[in-house]
Structure 1
Amino acid sequence: MLTLYRPGTGWMHRAPAGPKAFVLLVLVLAVSLLPSTYLAAGIAATVTVLGYLVTGLGLRELGRQIVSVRWVIVITLGAQLLFLQTEPAIANTSRVLAAILLAAMLVLTARVADLLDAFERGLQPFARFGVDPARVALVLAVAITTVPVLIRLASGVREAQKARGAGGGLRAFVIPFLVVSLKHADDLGEALTARGVA
């Protein structure tokens, strides 16, 4: 399975996957519940920047993550500006961006195998209600890693187009991106089938 994990020795990398996932989930929920004001946008941005600094990932990694989701920013802000005033549009986009960047911290500092183990342990109490912890943990891990992987695939398509001197039109991007996305989905489906999940 593709992952965005970046090896490191900081405390965030050494922290157990379960508590780390819980803390980041709380942060994402807190940012998501902020009001639609410029102050809230500033708070969301500050929390995100501090998160990357405190965890040792750094501003360079934060910049890389922002660049990788630039189209999400453009589309989200553009759609918001069509229906809302400037302040709530900017605030909402800032909250969405902060939530994505904070969630990315989890996949940057935890291996997928560690996430699977943490989710499976956390779901064990629900086994008495007929829940299969291993299967649900796998679905959660796949869900967490899919969006960053698709973003990376999109960046790869753009870089390949630039290297070949291809035009930057939307149609020229969408078709190759769909091809690599479907290829990734096929590979993932085969891997799940081989493990007896699908």
Structure 2
Amino acid sequence: MLTLYRSGTGPWHRMPAGPKTLLLLLLVLGVSLLPASWPAAAIAAAVCLACYVVPGVGFRELGRQVWGLRWLVVVAFGIPCIFLGVEAATVGTVRIVVAVVLAGLLSLTTPVAALLDVVERALRPLRVIGVDATRVALLLVVALGTVPTLTRLAREVRVAQRARGARGIRVFVVPFVVLALRHADDLGDALSARGVR
């Protein structure tokens, strides 16, 4: 299974997976509950910057994460802007970007095994009502890594396009879909090999 984890010695890397996951979830929840106003957008952006300025991660990684979301930003801002206005569209877009980027921070600084363990422990009490904590944990961890993985695949396709001098949406979509399906196939094979059905 592909992982986005990058080893390091910074505070985010040293923080135990459980408290780190809880902290980032609370930050995302807090940002989501902010009112739709310009100050709220500034606060959400400041929270994100503060999380990435920590040694071991850095602004370069933040830039990489945000740049990977540029098409999501266009869609998330463009459509609401028409119906809700610039302020509401900006705040909504900032909330979405911050949530995805903070999820990316968790993926970058926490090994997959540690994430699985945290989610499984959190869901263990739900076994009494028939919830399979192991499967749910695996599903959540895979979902968490999907957006950044697809972003990386899109970047690879664009680099290959530029190298060949090819342009156009069709030239991008076909290889991207093929790579995404291949990734899904590899992921399915890896899960099957580990006995997950």
TM-score, normalization: structure 2? 0.95
Q: Deviations over 1:133-171 (max 9, x none)?
A: 21111111111111111111111111111111111x222
Equivalent residue number for residue 30 of structure 1: 30
Write the distance in 2 (CA, Å) between the matches of 1:83 and 1:176. 34
| Residue-pair matches, total | 197
Equivalent residue number for residue 188 of structure 1: 187
Q: Deviations over 1:111-148 (max 9, x none)?
A: 11111111112222222222222111111111111111
- How far residue 55 of structure 1 moved from its aligned partner, in angstroms, is 5.5
Runs of 5+ in structure 1 lacking a partner? Answer: none
- How far residue 81 of structure 1 moved from its aligned partner, in angstroms, is 1.7
Identity of aligned pairs, percent?
Answer: 57
SS in 2 for 1:36: coil
Residues 2 and 138 of structure 1, relative CA distance in 2, 3 Å threshold? same
State yes or no: 1:170 paired with 2:169.
Answer: yes
Write the distance in 2 (CA, Å) between the matches of 1:83 and 1:175. 32
SS in 1 for 2:53: helix
Say what the alpha-carbon RMSD is for the aligned residues: 1.3
Equivalent residue number for residue 90 of structure 1: 90
Write the distance in 2 (CA, Å) between the matches of 1:170 and 1:53. 35
Write the distance in 2 (CA, Å) between the matches of 1:7 and 1:26. 24
Write the distance in 2 (CA, Å) between the matches of 1:55 and 1:117. 25
- How far residue 41 of structure 1 moved from its aligned partner, in angstroms, is 0.8
- How far residue 38 of structure 1 moved from its aligned partner, in angstroms, is 0.9
Task: Give 1:66's aligned amino acid.
Answer: V
After the TM superposition, list the runs of 4 or more consecutive aligned residues in structure 1 that deviate by more than 4 angstroms: none
Write the distance in 2 (CA, Å) between the matches of 1:105 and 1:72. 18
Task: Give 1:32's aligned amino acid.
Answer: S
Write the distance in 2 (CA, Å) between the matches of 1:128 and 1:181. 37
Write the distance in 1 (CA, Å) between the matches of 2:158 and 2:98. 24
Residues 144 and 99 of structure 1, relative CA distance in 2, 3 Å threshold? same
TM-score, normalization: structure 1? 0.94
